[in-house]
Structure 1
Amino acid sequence: MLTISQLASYAGVTVRAVRHYHAKGLLPEPERDASGYRRYDAAAVVELVRIRTLADAGVPLARVQELLVADDEEFAAAVEDIDRRLRSEIRQRQRHRERIAQLVAGESLALPPEAVAYLTRLRSLDVPEEMVEAERDAWILVAAQIPERMAFYMETKERQLDDPNVRDLYRDLAEITQWSADDPRLDQAAERLAAQFEQVPDDAWDEEMLPQDLADLLDGVFLSSVPGARRILTRLEQLGWTGWTNIQRLEPAG
């Protein structure tokens, strides 16, 4: 007869594992002998090896007892079901690994590749990082709401960056965000913006429109984070333009 330590050694498990299997009802717990110790026979070793083999194969302990008493047909069906579950878990864990890998990549976690490429191009053009980060956060919101439109928006933005005036405007905007609300240079900045808007075909504005609730959210960020935002928008309206995210030409009065 074997002590619990000897049983564990024969079966290749720990004493703690034996006690755990006792607690789960998988391995019968023998009565104590006259000296107060539990003694195990060879059958217990065989049973423990079977339990360990199933557990090592990934069989949930909740299903081990079922397999221990199953006939060949039941055993095969149960193993097939467990294998199917394990394959599903493996696929899920692989997706988790892919997401974790994306965390290292930073921006690519929440943005499609074309948006990441666009942000990279902004940096290559020496656009200040605070402007790049503001663009990034805005596009994360857009990508979360209308991912199917991101390819179009990024193609449009890339095309705009081919214009040297647009590139200069990005650099100017980073400085503008630091100006006070009464800085007279804001009017000049708005006039430069309006001049850029005039170069865009009217039908292009409609194509680039975001859903209005999303545009309102982004406009709110602009108004709350840029001291001179309201003055810029006021001057733009005087020049015939309204909006910041969804820019529209105002119809002439009368």
Structure 2
Amino acid sequence: MITIGQLAGYIGVSTKTIRVYHDKGLLPEPGRDASGYRRYGANDAIDLIKIRTLAEAGVPLARIRALRSATGEEFQQALREIDDDLAARIRRLRKTQGRLRRLAAGQLTPLPPEVGVHLENLAGWGFTPRWVDLQRDLWILVFATHPDRAGALFQDQAEMLAEPELRRLFLDYDHAHDLDADDPRIDGLARRIVEATRERYGSGELPQMGAATEIPALIQSTVNAASPAWQRLDTLIRARLDA
């Protein structure tokens, strides 16, 4: 028979914790001996190990108390459920740890890997850092707000940029950022974009330029806000596509 202090030291908890377990009805409180000390035996140590293990697994004390009256089969089933919950928590924590490590490495973009590769390609193709940053921010918005459709839209743009002639249009669009809104080169660029768009999509819905959907509107409104020249370019493109 051992004292509460010896039991606490052996199991690795505080005496205060043991007293809380007594108050919560988790661990029966033994009577006192002739010297006035409460004495604990092997069964108390085993019970305390069970309680501590379940508590450390995140099981609420109320459920631990209820498990004291469970049958052997019920207890084993409860342990399997607790183990499944713990495994799920571990997976979530590992994902969080991965995000934390990417944050520490400066990798802040919550985008699919293929989008990250695409953004790196943009820089290699001669797009300005401003354009690459804008594309990153736009894809973050699109994947966050329309995850069910973002992948298809991204694939469409990636395929376009894989074609040198279409990529030239995007590069010219990028470099038009600093032009005056009334620069005649904007009219010529708008005409070329409309021709390429009609050639790619025909007379059907134009997912990139003319479709009345939320995603193109989200993208284009953000692009237009960045440059008066881009805003006029969009106005010309829409007018010619509608015509």
Distance 1:123 1:99, change over 3 A: farther
What's 2:196 paired with?
199
What's 2:207 paired with?
208
The answer as to 2:242 corresponding to 1:250 is: yes
What's 2:219 paired with?
218
Deviation at 1:97? 2.0
**SS of residue paired to 2:16:** helix
| 8 Å CA contact 1:59, 1:82 repeated in 2 | no
Partner Cα distance (1:164, 1:153) in 2: 13
| 8 Å CA contact 2:224, 2:230 repeated in 1 | yes
Any gaps of 5 or more consecutive residues in structure 1?
none
**SS of residue paired to 1:242:** helix
How well do the aligned residues superpose, as a CA RMSD in angstroms?
3.4
The answer as to 2:150 corresponding to 1:147 is: yes
What's 1:113 paired with?
113
Describe the superposition over 1:48-104 as per-residue Cα deviations: whole angstroms up to 9, x where unpaired: 43222343253723333334344xxx2222222332232133124314422542461
**Residue type of the alignment partner of 1:132:** V
Correspondences of 1:164-179 after superposition (within 5 Å): 165-166=168-169, 168-169=171-172, 171-173=174-176, 176=177, 178=178
Distance 1:23 1:129, change over 3 A: farther
**Residue type of the alignment partner of 1:242:** R
| 8 Å CA contact 1:5, 1:15 repeated in 2 | yes
The answer as to 2:98 corresponding to 1:98 is: no
| 8 Å CA contact 1:67, 1:75 repeated in 2 | no
TM-score (norm 2): 0.73
What's 2:162 paired with?
159
What's 2:138 paired with?
138
Any gaps of 5 or more consecutive residues in structure 2?
none
**SS of residue paired to 1:26:** coil
**SS of residue paired to 1:40:** coil
| 8 Å CA contact 1:183, 1:228 repeated in 2 | yes
Partner Cα distance (2:222, 2:233) in 1: 14
**SS of residue paired to 1:199:** helix
Distance 1:154 1:84, change over 3 A: farther
**Residue type of the alignment partner of 2:168:** N
Partner Cα distance (1:127, 1:149) in 2: 23
Describe the superposition over 1:128-155 as per-residue Cα deviations: whole angstroms up to 9, x where unpaired: 2221111122222333411352453244
Distance 1:26 1:161, change over 3 A: farther
Describe the superposition over 1:27-58 as per-residue Cα deviations: whole angstroms up to 9, x where unpaired: 234577899xx622234x53243222343253
The answer as to 2:84 corresponding to 1:81 is: no
Give the share of equivalent positions with the same residue, in percent: 23
**Residue type of the alignment partner of 1:82:** L
**SS of residue paired to 1:8:** helix
Partner Cα distance (1:47, 1:139) in 2: 59
What's 1:41 paired with?
39
| 8 Å CA contact 1:190, 1:232 repeated in 2 | yes
| 8 Å CA contact 1:27, 1:48 repeated in 2 | no
